[in-house]
Amino acid sequence: MAKIIESIPNISEGRNKEVVEACVDQIRNTKGATLLDYSSDPSHNRTVITYMGSPEAVEEASVKLVKKAAELIDLTKHEGEHPRMGAVDVMPFVPIKDASEEDCIALSKAVGKRIFEEAGVPVFLYEKSATAEHRTNLAAIRKGQFEGMGEKVKDPQWHPDFGTGIHKTAGVIAVGARPPLIAYNLNLNTDNLEMANEIAKEIRESSGGLPKVKAIGIMLEERNIAQVSINMTDYTVTSLFKVTEIVKEKAKERGALVIGSELIGLCPMKALIDVAEECLMIEDFNYKVQVIENHLL
State the Cα–Cα distance between residues 62 and 238, nearest whole angstrom. Answer: 30
82 classed as catalytic: yes
Sequential DSSP letters for 197-208: HHHHHHHSGGGT
Q: Which of 44, 82, 159, 295 is catalytic?
A: 82
State the Cα–Cα distance between residues 22 and 72, nearest whole angstrom. Answer: 9
Radius of gyration of the chain (CA): 19
Neighbours of 51 (CB within 10 A): 25
Residue 146: alpha-carbon gap to chain centroid: 17
Strand partners, 40: 47
Q: Is the Cβ–Cβ distance between 138 and 214 less than 8 Å?
A: no
State the Cα–Cα distance between residues 19 and 165, nearest whole angstrom. Answer: 25
Residue 191 identity (one-letter amino acid): D
End-to-end CA distance of the chain: 23
Residue 275 identity (one-letter amino acid): V
Residue 76 identity (one-letter amino acid): T
Q: Which residues are catalytic?
A: 82
